[in-house]
Amino acid sequence: MSWQVEELNKISEMQPEIIEDALSALWRNNPDLYRMVVVNAYIDRKINLGKAAELLGISRLELEKELRAKGIPVRQLSAEDIVAEVEAIKTW
């Protein structure tokens, strides 16, 4: 399967809309998988807690509580995270 993921990645560079549409359909049909992808992105430090919560449509505190209940460590907010949180609030 790794070759398939590599090929999808190549296509996403040339025609990202095709992959975005396919992923949107996948997430709609598999919301638990989407949740796992988002949480893993948070664990791998690709996104912060606020972004993960936003993507999942819940509050940052709700996600923090959920992660702690599952034994997943919650990172303390960095200065960069705080600035991002303030900017996100400004756009509301």
Task: Using the predicted structure, report yes or no on whether residue 8 has a pLDDT greater than 90.
Answer: yes
Total domains in the chain come to 1
Domain of 9 in residue numbering reads as: 2-90
Q: What is the pLDDT of residues 9-60, one digit of tens each?
A: 999 999 999 999 999 999 999 999 999 999 999 999 999 998 999 999 999 9
What does residue 46 show for φ and ψ, rounded to 5 degrees?
-85, -25
Q: What is the pLDDT of residue 17?
A: 97
* pLDDT tens string 59-81: 999 999 999 999 998 987 777 76
Distances (CA, A) of 28 to 18, 21, 32, 53, 67: 16, 11, 10, 17, 22
Distance in angstroms (rounded) separating the CA atoms of residues 33 and 39: 10
User: What count of other Cβ atoms lies within 10 Å of the Cβ of residue 38?
Assistant: 20
Q: How confident is the model at residue 92 (pLDDT cuts 50, 70, 90)?
A: low
Tell me what pLDDT residue 53 has. Answer: 95
pLDDT for position 83: 81
